[in-house]
């Protein structure tokens, strides 16, 4: 059973005609490589399309770690039993690390979207797992191709800080919940005045303007030296200075990674620091207030400890 697409804006149900979904208005949405496309590839998330097609398998759980599963279940607060037979919406799938967990570890019906061409990597990774339980599309968080109040569960991990209008994006997620439905989101937090006193925010104005292949090449070149310096400062008890090194914090990476896996994960996360068009951290209490103003009941608004680190998480319900 797949989840029906609707035309963004009108909410009219689409019908499939050959290689497209067609609205009653005649508007057509092409199916490319087996995936419904509601947006063009040339958008503010194109860096993620490149990123997740190059690093398609890097964060997928394998025999060496269960990082994605640990993060998904801990941050959402859900269980496989809760999702059994329910409709779930994932917004911002990337290469499908959490798509993989939902399909393998629950019996949910999953609709998954990404704004970038990362959906191609997701299908390659998870298409064979899904049967008819996965509905996959390339679409915008602001114009989701699904009916309002269509989902029992909605989650959005690692995405909201990279949207141009964080508050509007949160409202779009909430609108898709059925009465009684549950929402789980995470995001980059503002912890204090020092949050943006960091190499990421100091260098991003330049780094995000570089051609993405060039940026990736630069990161691959300096990463070994940056990692060595990071470790040295850590050993000397000068960890506060590591925030000025243009490399991701790799201390919470899964312990079972091989040296090659660790290198690739570091390069991936560092590219993820510098390449996005938008990076808008928020205070946890602000995001919770926005959801309350939209009509949500807040179940959790705080940090959670997961995979050796701390994530800013808000969980909410739609009354009913």
Could you please report the per-residue DSSP string of 196-241?
Answer: T-SHHHHHHHHHTTS-HHHHHHHHHHHHHHHHHHHHHHHHTT-GGG
Identify the three-state secondary structure at position 99.
Answer: helix
Q: Is the pLDDT of residue 242 over 90?
A: yes
Q: Is the pLDDT of residue 245 over 70?
A: yes
Contacts within 8 Å (CB) and 24+ apart, 28-35:
29/5, 29/145, 33/120, 33/123, 34/123, 34/127, 35/119, 35/120, 35/123, 35/136, 35/137, 35/138
Q: Which domains does the chain have, with CATH numbers?
A: 39-189+282-318 (3.40.50.150), 199-275 (no CATH)
Pick left, alpha or beta for residue 180 (phi over 0 → left; psi -120 to 50 → alpha; otherwise beta): left
Evaluated on CA atoms 39, 43, 47, 50, the torsion sign reads positive
Mean pLDDT of the 89-93 span: 98
Q: Are 166 and 280 in contact (CB under 8 A)?
A: yes
Confidence of residue 129 (pLDDT cuts 50, 70, 90): confident
Burial class (CB in 10 A: 0-12, 13-18, 19+), 32: middle
Question: pLDDT value at position 87?
Answer: 98
Question: pLDDT value at position 143?
Answer: 98
Calculate the alpha carbon distances from 20 to 27, 32, 33, 243 in Å: 10, 9, 11, 47
Q: Is the pLDDT of residue 47 over 70?
A: yes
Identify the three-state secondary structure at position 36.
Answer: strand
Which pLDDT tens digit goes with each residue over 146-175?
A: 999 999 999 999 999 999 999 999 999 999
Max Cα distance, the chain (Å) = 66
Pick left, alpha or beta for residue 25 (phi over 0 → left; psi -120 to 50 → alpha; otherwise beta): alpha
Confidence of residue 193 (pLDDT cuts 50, 70, 90): confident
Higher pLDDT among residues 47 and 19, named by residue: 19
Q: Is the pLDDT of residue 188 over 90?
A: yes
Pick the closest to residue 174 from 153, 188, 158 (CA basis): 153
Of all residues in the chain, what percent carry a pLDDT higher than 70? 99
Kindly state the tokens that stand for 116.
Answer: 């970038």
Q: Are 38 and 143 in contact (CB under 8 A)?
A: yes
| Average pLDDT of every residue of the chain | 94
Give all strands (DSSP E) within the chain, no chain letters.
15-17, 20-22, 28-32, 35-37, 87-91, 109-114, 134-138, 151-156, 177-187, 297-306, 309-317
Confidence of residue 80 (pLDDT cuts 50, 70, 90): very high
Q: Is the pLDDT of residue 64 over 70?
A: no
* pTM to 2 decimal places: 0.94
Question: pLDDT value at position 209?
Answer: 96
Q: Please tell me the distance from the alpha carbon of residue 17 to that of residue 22, in angstroms, as a whole number.
A: 7
Confidence of residue 260 (pLDDT cuts 50, 70, 90): very high
């Amino acid at each position: 059973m797949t989840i029906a697409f609707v035309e963004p804006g009108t909410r009219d149900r689409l019908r499939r005609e050959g290689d497209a979904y067609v609205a009653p208005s005649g508007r057509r949405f092409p199916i490319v490589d087996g995936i419904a496309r509601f947006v063009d590839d040339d958008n503010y998330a194109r860096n993620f399309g490149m990123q997740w097609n190059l690093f398609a398998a890097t964060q997928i759980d394998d025999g060496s770690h269960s990082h994605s599963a640990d993060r998904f279940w801990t941050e959402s607060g859900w269980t496989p039993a809760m999702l059994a037979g329910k409709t779930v919406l994932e917004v911002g799938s990337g290469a499908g690390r959490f798509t993989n967990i939902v399909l393998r570890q629950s019996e949910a019906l999953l609709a998954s979207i990404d704004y970038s061409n990362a959906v191609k990597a997701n299908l390659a990774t998870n298409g064979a797992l899904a049967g008819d339980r996965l509905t996959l599309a390339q679409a915008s968080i602001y114009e989701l191709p699904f009916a309002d109040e269509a989902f029992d569960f909605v989650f959005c991990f690692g995405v909201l800080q990279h949207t141009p209008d964080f508050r509007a994006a949160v409202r779009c997620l909430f609108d898709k919940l059925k009465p009684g439905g549950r929402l789980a989101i995470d995001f980059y937090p503002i912890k204090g005045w020092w949050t943006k006193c960091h190499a990421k925010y100091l260098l991003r104005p330049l780094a995000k303007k570089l051609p993405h292949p060039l940026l990736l090449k630069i990161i691959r070149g300096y990463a070994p030296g940056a990692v060595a310096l990071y470790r040295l400062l850590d050993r000397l008890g000068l960890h506060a200075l590591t925030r000025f090194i243009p490399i991701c914090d790799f201390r919470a990476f899964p312990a079972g990674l091989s040296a090659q896996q660790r290198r690739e994960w570091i390069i991936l996360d560092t590219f993820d620091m510098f390449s996005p068009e938008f990076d808008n951290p928020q205070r946890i209490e602000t995001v919770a207030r926005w959801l309350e103003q939209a009509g949500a009941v807040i179940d959790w608004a705080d940090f959670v400890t997961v995979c050796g680190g701390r994530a800013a998480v808000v969980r909410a319900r739609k009354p009913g």
